[in-house]
Structure 1
Amino acid sequence: MLLKIAKTTALIALTVSAFNITLNAKDFSSQAEKDRVALVKYFETKFQDPLKNRAEFFPYATDDELENGIAKGLKFQDFALGNYSYNIDGKAQYEDLREMPPYDYDIDAGEVLWNKAFANGKSFSTCFGTPDALSKYPYFDDARNQVVTLTQAVNECLTSNGEKAWNTKKGDMAKLQAYMAKSAQDEEKVIDVKIDSQAAADAYERGKEYYYTQRGYLKLNCAECHVTGSGKRVRNEKLSPFLGQVTHFPVYRLKWKGVGTLERRMSGCIKDQGQVPPGDTSKDMKELLFFMSYMSNGMKLDGPDIRK
């Protein structure tokens, strides 16, 4: 009887412990999830009827532009296309470019890099398993107390196997990521960033602070262009929404004439704000990408893609 009671008590204790772990995990992400839901609601409401919500768009936009140039009734998954999600003319040009995408070569080159053996006989599959593992990044590593991005993980795989680290913005790094992104897309993977510890929640908050803090001599922040500024334009360029910004990387930019990583794009954007960008694998950059990725949780990965 005592043995039976002991077993029952232990089972109850384990069940309560498991429940508390689950509850705590949900608690750690509760604020982030509130932020994400609010962001989705903001964009869906804003683009429900651009003519009716004209105060949210370019102040000199005509009725015709608001009615016929900007898509209406957009939903969550639509925003993965960046400004092509709402830019009707731009989307038509984008779809033409996708007929013969200039990044096909990069995907093929990335597959060669994936399969190529290191000098020690190992390969990227030793570190990542399958190429669709891109969908696991970024994540918070509690053992190391830091965010780990795909770019960081690729270089750590190389150096731990006696190879030289790659340029974090372009070249082989972008090509390998293009192949991994296409693999994740083919497997219909979605962004699934988890916040299941206090340290991860703190990293998320620091990334959010970076995104919304004005910096540099222009006193701008990311949100001014990509939250309140989405749907507006700078000169002739229409600004993309924050929601879905990370789904399509690496990208082939016409400006670059090649494929580049998310870190490359973020560095350029931060420079445009009049700031000095943080290093690609610095704490600031990784936590910024962690925050941005969480805010697109649930969106399908659709990289590599093409942008102007």
Structure 2
Amino acid sequence: MKFLLVSTVAGGIGSFVSSNGFIASLFPFLATSVGGPGPTIGGLFTWKDIFHGVDAGSTPDKGPPPTTLPAPTWGRVAQVTSMTRLLDAFYVGNTNFSDWYYPSSGLSVTGVAGHCSNAAGGTCTGPLPAGTVGAACGGANFSQSLADSQCSETISIDSTALSVGRGRRDIENLTQAANIDIPVISFVGSNGLARVPGAMTGFGTSIHRCTAPSCDGTTDRVVDAANPNPAFPTLGGVAGGYEVYVNVGYAHLDVVTAEDFPSNNVGPMLTAFLARNVQ
């Protein structure tokens, strides 16, 4: 940690997690939009909270919405998380921020990336994953990455391969993806890790059609994965019980740490979702 500047507490944390910073560029799961660098006072690097003014350099424009997957970061960076609130989140409460956010079960280690011979319409090529070799893939308006994803194999939220297959008693055995028939809502940040609604297509296609009273019972979770485009597919929305909202300019953690600004979809959309589904 010797490369960190001599700083105040806020200066040290800010330089570590800032979505515009070097460290967050290497470890984007840390990225939070917490303002920008302040002046050096008494030899200490300080931090400027979002409520103390945001410099233009802290809100760069990363371009228009993408149309393909995997999606790059896009939109104008928004500075939306208060440093004071973020610091509190690390220690206030019965458990701290690190306890409930960072643990990982390692599900991704069982995934195998596949390849489609032709994004416009082809077959999955081998040798791995063996279970998809020869299967049809791709189609009109498919990007290569979307077509390749049809040939890939992951365990999704079925963790049997880890919890049972590897004898990992510490990992909960999850097998019920196909039985999830309740409404689902998700939020993504255009400057985060899941940047577009298309990032949630895989989960939407792995769960059961919504049968709750707030759904119409006939609309699929994912209506059309390729249109208008793979990054912004046609999802079931309220009728299909599958809603995904984009917070433009938000980094990975901002979706749960940001203030209730007009740009923050979480409060109003989640409130409406809960109101529709109270039973």
Task: Verify same fold: TM over 0.5.
Answer: no
Question: TM-score by structure 1 length?
Answer: 0.24
Higher RCO (C-alpha under 8 Å, 6+ residues apart):
1
Structure with the higher fraction of residues in strand conformation: 2
Higher helix proportion (structure 1 or 2):
1
Length-normalised TM-score, structure 2 = 0.26
